[in-house]
Amino acid sequence: MTKNKNDFINLNNAREDEQIEVMQKIATQDHCPFCSENLRLYHQQPTLKEGKYWLVTKNQWPYKHTKHHLLLIYKSHATKLAELEAEAGAELFAIIKELEQELALEGGGLALRFGDTDFSAGTVNHLHVQLIVPDAMAKDFEPVRVKLGLQWEKRK
Ligand SMILES: [Zn+2]
């Protein structure tokens, strides 16, 4: 395992200075920042919705050019798809359907990274789904891209 990577986080995939700072703090604790007992220690966004399996909140560090960047965090610690309960899939779709209606989402995408963070390019290795609506009507808009995988020279 590289210096910036442990079982719970991968600093090499962090994008913003403040995010890197928070992640460095988490690294010293060696615990998972998305597990419910730790989430409030670092995450400052309110919970917008909560089901049996998923919790919905805003991304603390939204991607540039997004109108909405929500996280649906699995409520138990899981890193592999095989660890998800079958019923969690049905609840996930029920929640995103509600969000689409309630927030009148025009369109966007879902991203679900899983497993080894060198492959997923995830910063936090705890299953979560990103719901991204680009700010496509903004004058300076540029397409939002989701990265998968980390190049060798960035693995520190
Ligand atoms: Zn966790």
Alpha carbon of 106 to ligand 1 centroid (Å): 31
Query: How many other C-beta atoms can be found within 10 angstroms of the C-beta atom of residue 122?
Result: 25
**pLDDT tens column, 82-105:** 999 999 999 999 999 999 999 999
**pLDDT tens column, 69-78:** 999 999 999 9
Pairing, β 109-112 against β 128-134: antiparallel
Does residue 131 form part of some domain?
A: yes
Does residue 153 form part of some domain?
A: no
State the pTM of this model: 0.95
Greatest alpha-carbon pair distance for the chain in Å reads: 43
Q: Are 72 and 34 in contact (CB under 8 A)?
A: no
> Residue with structure tokens 């079982």?
7
Query: Is residue 154 over pLDDT 80?
Result: yes
Neighbours of ion ligand 1 (CB under 5 A): 32, 34-35, 77, 126
Does residue 6 form part of some domain?
A: no
Does residue 56 form part of some domain?
A: yes
**pLDDT tens column, 110-151:** 999 999 999 999 999 999 999 999 999 999 999 999 999 999
> Residue 132 forms beta bridges with which residues?
69, 109
Mean pLDDT of the chain: 96
DSSP 137: T
- What CATH number does residue 25 fall under? 3.30.428.10
pLDDT of 2 reads 79
Percent of the chain at pLDDT > 70 equals 99
Alpha carbon of 142 to ligand 1 centroid (Å): 32
